[in-house]
Amino acid sequence: MDVEEQRCDLESPLIPDPQEHALQSRKGLLNNDEIVEEVKKQLLSLAGASMATSFASVTGLSLILGMCSALDTFCAFLLQLYGPNAGNILQFLGQDPEISSAAGDYARFMIPCIFAYAILQCHARFLQTQNNVVPMIVSTGTATLLHLLICWVMVYKTSLGYRGAAVANALTLLDQCIVIVSLCQSFPLLQEHMDWILKGGLPWNSPLF
């Protein structure tokens, strides 16, 4: 049974009851333990997401960027395929087991990012060769505004938790790809050059043309 807190007035005893003092101290310790556990949980999610982002950037996104920059000799395969095993790989490299497990969960949800990122980088390099930055500016601005809403919904309104941020990144990249492809189709000169490049890279009898 909880002991009611005594008021500090003239009727209060000069020496507090040891049993009551011990009970209040125990309550304070329980509250502190709950706070520490909650903070530890939040920091674990943040550390796992940060580690997974670094791992995915090194093993997947950077390689896609290299392949789009004519470095396919050094980027013949995608290490992002190791994403499902990111937690085990990080533990093998000596990282904290709990953080590695959280990073592995986050990395698995980042795998769809690589497909949208590949399409985005190809179009970005194409626009650089055409000296046209308008589609990139519009697509980036649109994706940035939508990312705030998408990330908030995925993290706080779904059961994904911190993993929702990875899904939000994939959806944002996909949205940026849709916008930039639509803008490239709307510019006649860009459409003409893109058709010429695609026809040169595909078989002449391709059903797409």
Grade residue 1 by pLDDT with cuts at 50, 70 and 90.
very low
Environment class of 132 (CB within 10 Å of its CB; exposed 0-12, middle 13-18, buried 19+): middle
Q: Side chain identity at 28, as an amino acid letter?
A: G
Beta-carbon contacts of 206 under 8 Å, excluding residues fewer than 6 positions away, are: 199
Prediction pTM value: 0.62
169: nearest Cα among 185, 151, 155: 151
Task: Pick the most confident of 11-20, 128-137, 166-175.
Answer: 166-175
Q: Which of 80, 94, 92 is nearest to 52 (CA)?
A: 80
Quote the CA–CA distance of 48 and 34 in Å, as a whole number: 21
What distance, in Å, lies between the first and last C-alpha atoms of the chain? Answer: 81
Triad 178, 159, 55: Cα angle to 5°: 60
Residues 6 or more apart whose CB falls under 8 angstroms from that of 162 comprise 45, 46, 48, 49, 102, 106, 155
Q: If pLDDT is split at 50, 70 and 90, which confidence band does 149 have?
A: very high
- More reliable by pLDDT, 36 or 89: 89
Largest Cα–Cα distance in the chain? 99
At residue 7, the pLDDT reads 47
> Is a pLDDT exceeding 70 seen at residue 144?
yes
List, for residues 64-85, the tens digit of each pLDDT value: 665 555 554 444 445 555 667 7
Q: Tokens 């990330």 correspond to what residue?
A: 151
Taking a C-beta distance cutoff of 8 angstroms, is the pair 83, 103 a contact? Answer: no
CA distance 38 to 93: 27
